[in-house]
Amino acid sequence: MIPAPDLNLSVLLPIILVAIGSMTILMGEVLLSRADTVLGREVTESFIGTVLAGTAIFFFALTLWASGVAFAGGGVQVFNPDNPMYQLDPFSSFVTAVLALSALLSCALSITYLSELRINHGEYYALIMLSASGMMLMVAAVDLIAVFLGLELMSIPIYVLAGFDRRKLRSNESALKYFLIGSFASAILLYGMALLYGVSGGTSFEALRAGFDADNPMALVGLGLVVVGFAFKISMVPFHQWTPDVYEGAPSAVTAYMSVTVKVAAFATLIRLLAMAFGPLEASLETIFWVLSALTIVVGNIMAIIQENVKRMLAYSSIAHAGYLMIGLVTGTIEGYSAMIFYLIAYTFMNLGAFGVVVALANRGNDCERIASFAGLARTRPGLAAVMALFMLSLAGIPGTAGFMGKFKIFMAAVNSGDIWLLIIGVLMSVVSVYYYLRIPVLMYMREPEDESHRTEIASGEGAVLVVCALAVLALGLFPNRVPTLLFGDLDVLDWANRSVGMFFGG
């Protein structure tokens, strides 16, 4: 008889909550769409949408709470001690909390937008929750099998989400390009995993670390293919060409969600893979990361200058930010990794906020996409213009905002590990980026309004998300180690980032 393994189900709680949420939404939509009235209220399409979004937000809030409790408890818990594949530790619980928060904000952002585009279907929230559960699995995985499953569970729902506006050709095209590039990248990643398995004889990170031999060409090719597979996901140059097309064609709310969460999850997984499975970077790999990071920063920033579409501009800007984040990978120190985590949090709020403004301007099926259409927004929509200006300043890295603090931390880590040239490239390109980011505030505040096709009122969900993001950007920029909140006292985000990556360095 096979002895029953000693399973610890409570470790899976964050993922289980999200998965249950997505099933609840799928069933809820079927039941709701057959009812005429619920609790005395007539069931309309927008009512269903609001209820389902509320369910998604509720489950994400539960996940946030569960992972927060796990993070506060500290320690490392595994699901199956005999064969650990999934591990809830300070790192995974913290990243899970960040993912749950950004997914929650994206759901709140989508409610009115979906009605405006007339694509208000309940599957939307179920797909968001499924992909979030994949990300949470991926960042907590300590086995290649779990990494692969998490990656696919993250990607496949997002392929569908990119094409969610299925009557629009641009949405179709976005989904198709993302699907082709994404599945090609996962095949490459898988071949790399197969080679690594061939070298080490096991799929767990522990076995990889024991069996990894830098003199074996098969090991190096395998590692290279795995890195290339992830490079597609984080849109590292030269694997970035899909990013602007996909971000532009997908519905803006989906772009907001995927530009933020996919990056957080993929970077967190890379950190864990490099820290746990391959030890400190091999010198050769460090050089490769150095070159790719410099290339990514330069190409992202230069290409963003010539864009006329705000979503494409933000796509290239997200490529540039991936380049800054990679500086942390190059350093390979605890300081670099913790700076990456802090930067990812700052990036989450500012990018979600910037796309949130684009979402809030969308009107009757038309995305407000041209940069020129922001002209004179300060006169017609002063509140939106103010937060948009704040997010642009933060993305450019102006002091007093979260973006500055993140860049400062990353550059400090580069200095302390001796990567002076990377620092110089990063700072110079940040100066270049000010040009294209500040174009939007200049248009909003110094030009006359010309395009009158924006939406004229803001929905409560969008307003709440924008206020939260704006406050977070300011708070993280002004007091990164004691964010004041009314409910929970002062929050020390920098210390959390340090604690979460500290576990890789015996902390």
Candidates 95, 129, 135, 144; binder of another protein (CB under 8 A) is 144
Least distance CB 2 / another protein (angstroms)? 13
Count how many Cα atoms sit within 13 Å of the Cα of residue 490 in the half-sphere of its side chain: 7
209 binds another protein (CB under 8 A): no
79 binds another protein (CB under 8 A): no
194 binds another protein (CB under 8 A): yes
CA-based nearest residue to 373, from 311, 320, 433: 311
Q: Residue 8 or 183: which CB sits closer to another protein?
A: 183
Q: Residue 227 or 387: which CB sits closer to another protein?
A: 227
CB burial readout 201-223, b (16+ within 10 A) else e:
ebbbbebbeebbeeeeeebbebb
Q: Residue 3 or 506: which CB sits closer to another protein?
A: 3
Q: Residue 159 or 437: which CB sits closer to another protein?
A: 159
Candidates 35, 69, 72, 187; binder of another protein (CB under 8 A) is 187
Preceding omega of 238 cis (within 30 degrees of 0): yes
The stretch among 184-192, 232-240, 450-458, 485-493 that binds another protein (CB under 8 A) is 184-192
Q: Residue 265 or 473: which CB sits closer to another protein?
A: 265
CA quadruple 349, 351, 357, 360: dihedral sign: negative
Least distance CB 494 / another protein (angstroms)? 38
DSSP class per residue in 310-373: HHHHHHHHHHHHHHHHHHHHHH-SHHHHHHHHHHHHHHHHHHHHHHHHHHHH-BTTB---BGGG
The stretch among 185-193, 352-360, 378-386, 496-504 that binds another protein (CB under 8 A) is 185-193
275 binds another protein (CB under 8 A): no
The stretch among 47-55, 160-168, 430-438, 488-496 that binds another protein (CB under 8 A) is 160-168
Count how many Cα atoms sit within 13 Å of the Cα of residue 98 in the half-sphere of its side chain: 30
Q: Residue 65 or 197: which CB sits closer to another protein?
A: 197
CA-based nearest residue to 341, from 490, 235, 496: 496
| Token couple for 223 | 């590692």
167 binds another protein (CB under 8 A): yes
Task: Please say whether the beta carbons of 104 and 348 come within 8 A.
Answer: no
195 binds another protein (CB under 8 A): yes
Least distance CB 455 / another protein (angstroms)? 24
3-state secondary structure 101-164: HHHHHHHHHHHHHHHHCCCCCCHHHHHHHHHHHHHHHHHHECEHHHHHHHHHHHHHHHHHHHCC
489 binds another protein (CB under 8 A): no
Least distance CB 221 / another protein (angstroms)? 10
- Angle, alpha carbons 53-55-56 (nearest 5°): 65
For 136, residues 6+ apart whose C-beta sits below 8 A from its C-beta are 14, 15, 18, 63, 92, 96, 99, 100, 150
336 binds another protein (CB under 8 A): no
159 binds another protein (CB under 8 A): yes
Least distance CB 94 / another protein (angstroms)? 27
What is the identity of the amino acid at 98?
Answer: V
* Cα separation, 59 vs 21, whole angstroms: 6
| Burial class of residue 199 in the structure, from the number of CB atoms within 10 Å of its CB (0-12 exposed, 13-18 middle, 19+ buried) | buried
Q: What are the backbone angles phi and psi of residue 87, rounded to the nearest 5°?
A: -135, 125
248 binds another protein (CB under 8 A): yes
Q: Residue 144 or 358: which CB sits closer to another protein?
A: 144
180 binds another protein (CB under 8 A): yes
Candidates 183, 216, 380, 417; binder of another protein (CB under 8 A) is 183
190 binds another protein (CB under 8 A): yes
251 binds another protein (CB under 8 A): no
Between the alpha carbon of residue 362 and those of residues 66, 118, 253, 386, the distances in Å are 35, 12, 10, 17
Least distance CB 194 / another protein (angstroms)? 4
Q: Residue 72 or 306: which CB sits closer to another protein?
A: 306
Q: Residue 201 or 484: which CB sits closer to another protein?
A: 201
How many residues bind another protein, per CB under 8 A?
40
480 binds another protein (CB under 8 A): no
Q: Residue 306 or 428: which CB sits closer to another protein?
A: 306
* Cα separation, 56 vs 129, whole angstroms: 7
Could you give the 3-state DSSP secondary structure of residue 221?
helix
* Cα separation, 476 vs 486, whole angstroms: 15
What is the identity of the amino acid at 253?
Answer: A
Contacting residues toward another protein, per CB under 8 A: 144-145, 148-149, 152, 156, 159-160, 163, 166-167, 169-170, 172-177, 179-180, 183-184, 186-188, 190-191, 193-195, 197-198, 201-203, 244-245, 248-249
